[in-house]
Structure 1
Amino acid sequence: MIRLNTDNLNVGYGEHLIVKNLNVEIPDKKITTIIGSNGCGKSTLLKAITRIISHRSGSIVLDGKDITKENTKVLAKKMAILPQTPDIINGLTVGELVSYGRFPYQKGFGRLSNRDIEVIDWALEVTGTSTFKYRSVDALSGGQRQRVWIAMALAQETEIIFLDEPTTYLDMAHQLEVLELLQRLNIEQDRTIIMVLHDLNQAARFADYIIALKDGEVVKAGNSEEVINRSVLKKVFHIDAEIGRDPRTNKPMCITYNLIKGEQKNEKDLDSISTIAHAVH
């Protein structure tokens, strides 16, 4: 089932177009991971879909409606986003931060209702952060802090959660902790998870559906077998990869890789030739 999709989506900054005529479908109640090199449009796509930034043309459709025409609070009850580097207000406690997820449901002076408090405590419990409720957020470790941000997204009670590089700056143990939490939320709570990841093996292990981007366009979309292979990785990352099998999950995994230096040089030469040709004309 598809609830969320883009149709000929174009997004850019200034004169530079980053996402180009993009058509993607996000499977409902699955984990979707977006992969690609730096600057390919991964974060831009997430920001456009969640209406953090405007798109130039095309459409983003959720439940049959263009999101640009949706009421902000109504949309905030359907989707939540955890940015790559969330801003932290100094001195804010964990409980206070998680309570911000209840904003779409508050009326009047914004006082927390009994229902709000129940949901906040549930989100803290699910993410294993209840013991931090009265601690300052900026006093937590990176892994603890990331779980608290996820708790805030859960408190928003949305069926769709976007995360932009949720494992960045975390050590291996905390990366696995966060990804297993997201997987558990997907399996046990039917949450639709869309996240950007840099680690190809983590993408292959945890994602049901992978979208590989290059220069703002989809190179390949599908399951890990269809995307994590030598041909696709060559196009997306310009690497010659050796693909094996994860002995625990039997999913494909990138064992090692080399840069394809000769072809990379040729591409740069072609770019230079193109620039010179435009200058001449």
Structure 2
Amino acid sequence: MVRLYTDDLNISYGEKLIVKNLSVKIPDKKITTIIGSNGCGKSTLLKAITRIISHQSGTVILDGENISKESTKILAKKMAILPQTPESASGLTVGELVSYGRFPYQKGFGRLTKKDYEVIDWALEVTGTKDFKFRPVDALSGGQRQRVWIAMALAQETEIIFLDEPTTYLDMAHQLEVLELLQKLNRDQDRTIVMVLHDLNQAARFADYMIALKAGEIVKTGSCEEVMVHEVLKEVFQIDAVIGRDPRTNKPMCVTYNLLRGETTNEETTIPYYANVGTNY
């Protein structure tokens, strides 16, 4: 089932065309990861789909409706986005910032209800930020702030969540915590998750579906097995990658790679498992 898709989407910054005639379907109730080199249009695509920026031509369709014609509150009950560089939260406590996720549900004078407070506390709990509830956001470390922003997105209680590099500023353990949380939300609550990730192995490990972009155009879409292959990574990143299998998840993984630097390679190098190159599990 597909609730969300784009059709011939073109997005420009000034006179520079960033995304070109892009048509893509986002699988419902699945985790989709978007990969590509810096400046290829990943973040721009997320912003256009969530109506943060406008597109020059083409359409974004959600539940059969053009999102450009939807009211902001209705759209905000369906889609939430955590941008790559969230706006400043200067002067706000953690609890206050997370409460902004309840905006689409407020009426009248905008007072928070018992349900709002319950959702806020749940979002703080699952992101490990409950102890910071009354602390200023400015007083937190980069990793702590990132988790608070994720809590705000979760408090919005949308069926679709977009995250632009959600593991930025986080150490390895907290990266895994965040990604496992998003995976749990997908599996337990059928949330549709769409993420831009730079780490290819994380992208493949947690994705049901992958989108590979280059210069604003799709190179390949499909399962991890279809996208995380030598030829796709060669075209998207200009690398000669060795693809193996994660012995714990059996997902494809990039074991090692070289920059191509102008040379060509015609052979796809694969190994069955990463353990075969000297790592014991």
Q: Contact conserved, 2:127 with 2:178, CA < 8 A, in 1?
A: no
Deviations 1:63-96 (A, max 9, x none): 0000000001100000000010112322311110
Shift of 1:185: 1.2
1:107-256 equivalence runs, <5 A? 107-256=107-256
Q: Contact conserved, 1:146 with 1:178, CA < 8 A, in 2?
A: no
CA distance in 2, matches of 1:87, 1:55: 22
CA distance in 2, matches of 1:161, 1:237: 26
Aligned residues: 264
* Range 131-140 or range 42-51, more displaced: 131-140
* Range 78-87 or range 108-117, more displaced: 108-117
Equivalent residue letter for 1:93: T
Q: TM-score, normalising length from structure 1?
A: 0.91
Residue 62 of structure 1 is matched in structure 2 by 62
CA distance in 1, matches of 2:93, 2:232: 44
Shift of 1:230: 0.3
Deviations 1:147-168 (A, max 9, x none): 2111111111100000001112
Identify the structure with the greater helix proportion.
1
Residue 273 of structure 1 is matched in structure 2 by none
* Range 172-181 or range 54-63, more displaced: 172-181
Q: Deviation above 6 Å: which 4+ runs of structure 1? A: none
Residue 86 of structure 1 is matched in structure 2 by 86
CA distance in 2, matches of 1:5, 1:241: 31
Q: Contact conserved, 1:143 with 1:178, CA < 8 A, in 2?
A: no
CA distance in 2, matches of 1:149, 1:118: 17
Shift of 1:104: 1.0
Residue 271 of structure 1 is matched in structure 2 by none
Q: Contact conserved, 2:94 with 2:133, CA < 8 A, in 1?
A: yes
* Range 67-76 or range 150-159, more displaced: 150-159
Residue 31 of structure 2 is matched in structure 1 by 31
Shift of 1:40: 0.5
Shift of 1:106: 1.2
Residue 2 of structure 1 is matched in structure 2 by 2
CA distance in 1, matches of 2:263, 2:214: 16
Equivalent residue letter for 1:172: M
CA distance in 2, matches of 1:229, 1:10: 27
Residue 268 of structure 2 is matched in structure 1 by none
RMSD of aligned alpha carbons: 1.3
Equivalent residue letter for 2:216: G
CA distance in 2, matches of 1:166, 1:247: 25
Equivalent residue letter for 2:260: I
CA distance in 2, matches of 1:60, 1:195: 17
Shift of 1:179: 1.0
| Structure 1: gaps of 5 or more residues | 265-281
- Partner SS for 2:205: helix
Q: Contact conserved, 2:106 with 2:112, CA < 8 A, in 1?
A: yes
Residue 268 of structure 1 is matched in structure 2 by none
Q: TM-score, normalising length from structure 2?
A: 0.91
- Partner SS for 1:256: strand
Equivalent residue letter for 2:251: K
Shift of 1:109: 2.0
Identity %: 81
- Partner SS for 2:262: helix
Q: Contact conserved, 1:211 with 1:222, CA < 8 A, in 2?
A: yes
Shift of 1:263: 5.2
Equivalent residue letter for 2:73: K
Deviations 1:9-65 (A, max 9, x none): 000111111100001000111110000001110000000000000000000000000
Residue 275 of structure 1 is matched in structure 2 by none
CA distance in 2, matches of 1:143, 1:190: 26
CA distance in 1, matches of 2:139, 2:31: 31
